[in-house]
């Protein structure tokens, strides 16, 4: 089973948006190839991912949730090929290290303001060290940004120094907000409706395939 963790200790950067759409992409891919079975886990006490799944309409590509039993640890459903883990704000220390140990890849959603960069600096430095030591794949996704702006250039200069790639720049659009409210993702509607956003996701999709290989 491939485990892909979405993490950033700063709140409000788009972790759940990235997690749900990543799970949606994998589920859509599974419907095409017939061999991918996806679960969306949540290590946050608020369990936002589980609440989002409860809104998901029947008939869409299936995304499973944690199997929760009283007194037993949470575990993925049998036959799961990919687990996407949405994490809480404030993740650090041993809990972070433990989750990274379980993961094949870590995606870090990051807004390009200097405040967000500074708040996330130590976290990214820790991930860069773990990448070098353990071989886990780590990449950044810039959230709510136009890649032509100075903010994007500022983010690129910062991440280049850490040796971490910025896979994509996802624009600020109501498509994510509206689809999330109905338990859906970019991959659950006709591509023509979200063509610009799906195009921005292509580098992330290619990166996920590399992780699989």
pLDDT of residue 67: 61
pTM of the full predicted structure? 0.91
Q: Which CATH class name applies to 2-212?
A: alpha beta
Distance of CA 187 to the CA centre of its chain: 14
What are the boundaries of each domain within the chain? 2-212
**13 φ/ψ angles, rounded to the nearest 5 degrees:** -100, -5
Average pLDDT, integer, range 174-194: 96
Q: Which of 13-17, 99-103, 129-133 has the lowest mean pLDDT?
A: 129-133
Enumerate residues 6+ apart whose C-beta is below 8 A from 74.
41, 66, 67, 68
* pLDDT at residue 132 tops 80: no
Q: Two tokens at 12? A: 């409000």
* pLDDT (tens digit per residue) in 55-76: 999 999 999 987 655 555 567 7
Q: Please tell me which residue, 124 or 183, carries the higher pLDDT value.
A: 183
* pLDDT at residue 185 tops 90: yes
Q: How many CA atoms, within 13 angstroms, populate the side-chain half-sphere of residue 15?
A: 27
Say which DSSP state 62 is in: P
Give the burial class of 49: count Cβ atoms within 10 A of its Cβ; 0-12 exposed, 13-18 middle, 19 or more buried.
Answer: buried
Q: Please tell me which residue, 82 or 76, carries the higher pLDDT value.
A: 82
* pLDDT (tens digit per residue) in 87-97: 878 777 788 88
pLDDT of residue 167: 93
* pLDDT at residue 183 tops 90: yes
Answer yes or no: are the C-beta atoms of 83 and 106 closer than 8 Å.
no
């Amino acid at each position: 089973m491939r485990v892909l963790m979405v993490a950033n200790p700063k709140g409000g950067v788009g972790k759940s948006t990235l997690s749900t759409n990543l799970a949606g992409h994998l589920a859509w891919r599974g419907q095409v190839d017939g061999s991918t079975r996806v679960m969306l886990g949540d290590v946050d006490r608020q369990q936002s991912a589980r609440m989002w799944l409860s809104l998901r309409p029947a008939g869409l590509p299936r995304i499973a949730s944690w199997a929760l039993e009283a007194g037993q640890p949470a575990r993925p459903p049998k036959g799961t090929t990919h687990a996407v883990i949405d994490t809480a704000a404030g993740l650090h220390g041993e809990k972070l290290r433990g989750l990274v140990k379980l993961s094949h890849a870590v995606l870090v959603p990051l807004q390009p303001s200097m405040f967000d960069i500074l708040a996330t600096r130590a976290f990214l430095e820790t991930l860069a060290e773990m990448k070098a030591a353990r071989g886990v794949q780590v990449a950044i996704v810039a959230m709510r940004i136009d890649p032509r702006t100075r903010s994007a250039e500022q983010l690129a200069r910062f991440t280049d120094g850490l040796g971490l790639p910025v896979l994509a720049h996802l624009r600020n659009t109501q498509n994510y907000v509206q689809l999330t409210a109905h338990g859906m993702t970019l991959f659950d509607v006709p591509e023509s409706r979200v063509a610009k956003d799906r195009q921005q996701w292509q580098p992330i999709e290619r990166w996920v395939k590399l992780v699989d290989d």
